[in-house]
Structure 1
Amino acid sequence: METENSTKDIEKLNNLLGLIENGENIEQKIKDAKKNIKNFEKEIKKENSLIDKEKESVVKEQMGKSTEREDEKISKLNKRISSEKSRKNKAKKRGQKERIEEKTKSLRMKNRELNRTIRTKLGENDLPTFCNSTWFYVLYCTEGLIEWLIKLTFFAVMFLLIPMLCVCFVDWHIFFKGLLFILVFIIDFAIYITIFLVTKDRDNGTLEELRKERDEVKDNKKEIKKIKKGIKADKDESIYDLDSYDKNIRKYQEELDELEKDREKNLKDFKDNKKDNLVKEIEDKHNEEIEKINKLITEEEEKVVSLENALNENKEKIQAENNGALPESLINKYKIKKIIGLIESKEVKDIESAVNKLGR
């Protein structure tokens, strides 16, 4: 009797084991089907991406072809307009230059005469030409607040800063540094005095007399600069005879405007009448593949539903077969195989004993 019960229990456990393994197989099939669905969805997404790229590429290419003739002519006209404007600008600059030369001719001639007079007087008094420089007048014929400020700054650099820098660059005793400072100071002072002795000291008032001519030259240069600035700022182009350039530019611009209108017309025609057809052709070309993939997705989804129903039925069969013999914690194939082993090895006589031994 005991052996008969054991055999029935083992049979019951093997039935449970078969149902559990069947459930695992069904769950794996559900996972595989869902994975297939995800892969198919990725394929559709990839296909849609390819469609979008193809639409963008084809539409862009055909749109370019619809305005190709106008674009080529527009490019050539823009180059002509740019070239004509460049020629006009050069002609205007030539006119401005001629106008500046004419307006400043008397001032430039006056400056040449004044400079000739200055050089002559310097030569008559055996004075070097550098006596006609701005820096010389600042240092030796100082006049006015600005020139005095510049002269004092020069003295500070010449007689203080330079000797101090020379001292800083040597690693000598303080006494020798002091001697070096005095030596550099004396050399600088000697240079300044030497220039004074060969120029200012023997000029007999010539340098002061020449200041008037120098100031006049300076004023003339300012006036020349003012005239140049005024002519360049003048917006009136009528005096430069630029009508031929303006006429050509207007002609090219009118042609350009007409081409732009034609281009817009062709572009509108493409967008209104051709673009949608192109897009539809591309979509139709890919629709068959997308529909095929969608059909596979539908099949897999139906398979998932069918498998989930089968899984639920299998769970019900497990519960019916178990009929409360095993607690939920022991309803798995590893525990059931262990229980079968215990019964077959005679360690326990039935399921109830095995459950008690393993613990609920």
Structure 2
Amino acid sequence: MDGTSLLSGGVDTLREIKENLLELERCQSESNMLNGEEKQLEKSIQGLEKDIAEEVQSTIKKRRQEIESAFDKQIDKIQSRVKKIQDRRDKSKNAKVSERIKDETSSLRADKQSLRLDAKTLIKQKHIPSLCNTKLYYALYFPGCFTDFLVILSTLLFVLLIIPCGIYFFLLPEEKSIYLIIIYIITVILFGGIYILLGNLTKERHREELLQIRVIRGKIRKNKKVIAAIKRNIKKDKDESTYGLQNFDEEIAKAKQEISEIEAQKKEALYTFDNTTNKIIADEVNGIYEEKLNGLKVEFDRVKSELINSENKIKALTIKTASEYEPFIGKDLMLPDRLDALINIIQAGNATSISEAITVFRQMRSDT
């Protein structure tokens, strides 16, 4: 329809224009509604797909952990059995080692016992105080080895440091230098006197016998070193064939073989799960929600199709309005109420065409 024909038209033409305008508004309203539905359906589909994916992953993880747990429990039981067997083996070995040490040192222990008896007999026969057959006594009066000098050093520290300082700091009501000097003098006199007196009563009177006992104690010390060396060598000995541990070793080897077999079965089960079972689980979970998800997708496709149709209508009506009506009637008059006003002007007999109705409408607007 060209502009001349349009402007010469009457009420029917205006009503047609109004119908097109109302249809455009209806399509725009429908498009907005469909656009909202499309977004909501898209959000629902994405949310459901996310929930399905999470349920698939959690189900697969749970089932996989159940498989691992079942095999691990069996392995733990066997490992516990291995530990018990190992404990019994160690106990048996320790008993055999102790028995071997006892056998291989029996003569040395007998010699040591005999030497101790000789020393005690000599002390008893010569009426020597039993104190004289102690490590402390021989370290103080007959030092002969490094440990004796350590004993002397420890004794001096105790007598000249710990005792005086203990009395000075903890027993006296007040601390004065003179008190400390007096304490040291008394300590030196007291313990020095005891040392000299004991030496006179024992070392001077029984020197020959004490030297004999010293020789005996030296033999006992060497005897202990030999016994200790034998113990070390036996404990370090890697050859366990003499201890009768074969049954334990066979049980342990059998149990470890069981563990290896179970671990292989576990590996195979997990491989099958990762490559086959997890797909079956995914299909099961997807199957539960398939109908609901497909329903949402069908509804989404329907709404999307209607939205496309609505947008195409809007496009066509907008182009028609912009090209056929607005250039001649004016964009400001392309409103339902103003089109009604033009219709009323013609129906009232104030105009015979759209062109005249527009002129009358604008004059009425300018007059007001």
Match of 2:224 in 1: 221
How far the C-alpha of 1:251 sits from its partner, in A, is 4.7
Change (3 A) 1:127 1:187: farther
Q: Determine the C-alpha separation between the residues in 1 that align with 2:28 and 2:109.
A: 111
Q: Determine the C-alpha separation between the residues in 2 that align with 1:310 and 1:218.
A: 116
Alignment of 1:233 with 2:236, yes or no, is: yes
**CA deviation profile, 1:219-267 (whole Å, cap 9, x unmatched):** 2222212111111111111111223333444455556655665666666
Change (3 A) 1:186 1:141: farther
Match of 2:249 in 1: 246
TM-score, L = length of structure 2? 0.62
Q: 5+ residue gaps in structure 2?
A: 1-23, 333-363
Match of 2:201 in 1: 202
**Which of 27, 38, 43 is the equivalent residue of 1:38?**
43
Match of 1:188 in 2: 187
Aligned residue pairs total 305
Match of 1:11 in 2: none
Q: 5+ residue gaps in structure 1?
A: 1-18, 326-349, 353-360
How far the C-alpha of 1:208 sits from its partner, in A, is 3.8
**Structure 1 counterpart of 2:54, which letter?**
S
**Structure 1 counterpart of 2:48, which letter?**
E
Change (3 A) 1:142 1:303: farther
Change (3 A) 1:51 1:266: closer
Alignment of 1:212 with 2:243, yes or no, is: no
Identity of aligned residues (%): 23
Asked if structure 2 preserves the Cα contact closer than 8 Å seen for 1:51 and 1:286, the reply is: no
Q: Determine the C-alpha separation between the residues in 1 that align with 2:268 and 2:282.
A: 20
Q: Determine the C-alpha separation between the residues in 1 that align with 2:94 and 2:100.
A: 10
**CA deviation profile, 1:161-205 (whole Å, cap 9, x unmatched):** 643454445663xxx723421342244335423542553222221
3-state DSSP class of the match of 2:105?
Answer: helix
3-state DSSP class of the match of 1:142?
Answer: coil
Whichever of the two has the greater Rg, that structure is 2
Alignment of 1:289 with 2:288, yes or no, is: no
How far the C-alpha of 1:104 sits from its partner, in A, is 1.0
Q: Determine the C-alpha separation between the residues in 2 that align with 1:123 and 1:314.
A: 136
The range that moved more, 201-210 or 136-145, is 136-145
Asked if structure 1 preserves the Cα contact closer than 8 Å seen for 2:64 and 2:273, the reply is: no
3-state DSSP class of the match of 2:238?
Answer: coil
Q: Determine the C-alpha separation between the residues in 1 that align with 2:155 and 2:192.
A: 14
The range that moved more, 127-136 or 258-267, is 258-267
Alignment of 1:155 with 2:160, yes or no, is: no
Please provide the CA RMSD for this pair: 4.8
Q: Determine the C-alpha separation between the residues in 2 that align with 1:304 and 1:129.
A: 116
Asked if structure 1 preserves the Cα contact closer than 8 Å seen for 2:35 and 2:307, the reply is: yes
Match of 1:16 in 2: none
Change (3 A) 1:137 1:308: farther
Q: Determine the C-alpha separation between the residues in 2 that align with 1:94 and 1:311.
A: 100
How far the C-alpha of 1:40 sits from its partner, in A, is 4.3
